[in-house]
Amino acid sequence: MNKYITSVAVILGSVCLINLAYGATAIYQLNETQGTFLQIPLTHEIYRYSQQTNLQDVEVLDADKNALPYRLVTIAPEVKQIDPKILVDELRFFPIAADATPDTLRKFHSTHIKVQGDSVQVTTSDKTLANANPEFYLIDVSKLDHDATSLGIDWVPQTDNQYLEVELEATRNLQDWFFLAKSTLVQIEQEEHHLKRNHIEVAIAKKDFEFLRLRILRGANNLQITHVTAEQRIGAAEKPHIEKESWSLMGDLAKNQNTVYLPNSHSKSYPVAAWEFIRNDTAPIDSIAIDFGTQTYGDNARIFSRTTENQNWQLQQQGIWFNAQIGKEWQKSNPVNIVPPNRDKYWRIELNETLRDKFIPSLIVGWQPTQLQIITNNKPPYVLAINHDKNTSYNREQVFNQILATANPAWVSTGLISLNVQPEALTNAPKAIDWKQWLFWVALMLAVSVLLVFSLKLFKQFNRNSPH
Domain edges within the chain: 2-71+375-445, 85-234, 245-367
* CATH T-level assignment (fold) for domain 245-367: Jelly Rolls (2.60.120)
- Intrachain domains 85-234 and 245-367 with the same fold: yes
Residues 6 or more apart whose Cβ sits within 8 Å of residue 256: 274
pLDDT of residue 13: 40
CA 96 – CA 132 distance, rounded (Å): 9
C-alpha pair distances (Å), 215 with each of 134, 168, 182, 184, 312: 9, 7, 10, 12, 19
Q: Which amino acid is at 320?
A: I
CA torsion sign for 86, 90, 95, 100 is negative
Q: What is the pLDDT of residue 439?
A: 66
Q: In what order do the strands lie in the sheet with 383-386?
A: 58-61, 383-386, 25-30, 416-418
Average pLDDT per run of 10 along the chain, which is 468 residues long? 44 38 78 88 90 85 89 68 73 78 58 44 45 80 88 87 86 85 78 73 87 88 89 65 82 92 62 94 92 86 93 88 72 85 95 89 92 89 83 65 80 90 71 54 72 72 62
Cα 244 to Cα 41, 76, 227, 432: the distances in Å are: 11, 12, 40, 35
Which amino acid, 99? D
The Cα 396–Cα 304 span in angstroms is 38
Do β-strands 37-42 and 412-413 pair in parallel, antiparallel, or remain unpaired? Answer: parallel
Q: How far apart are CA 325 and CA 330, in angstroms?
A: 4
The answer to whether the pTM exceeds 0.95 is no
CA dist., res. 119 & res. 137, Å (int): 15
Question: Phi/psi of residue 210, each to 5°?
Answer: -100, -40
- Structurally, at CATH architecture level, domain 85-234 sits in Sandwich (2.60)
Q: How many Å apart are CA 451 and CA 441, to the nearest integer?
A: 15
Q: How many CB atoms lie within 10 A of CB 272?
A: 24
Q: How far is CA 342 from the centre of its chain?
A: 4
H-helix or E-strand spanning residue 176: none
**3-state SS, residue 110:** helix
Q: What is the pLDDT of residue 197?
A: 79
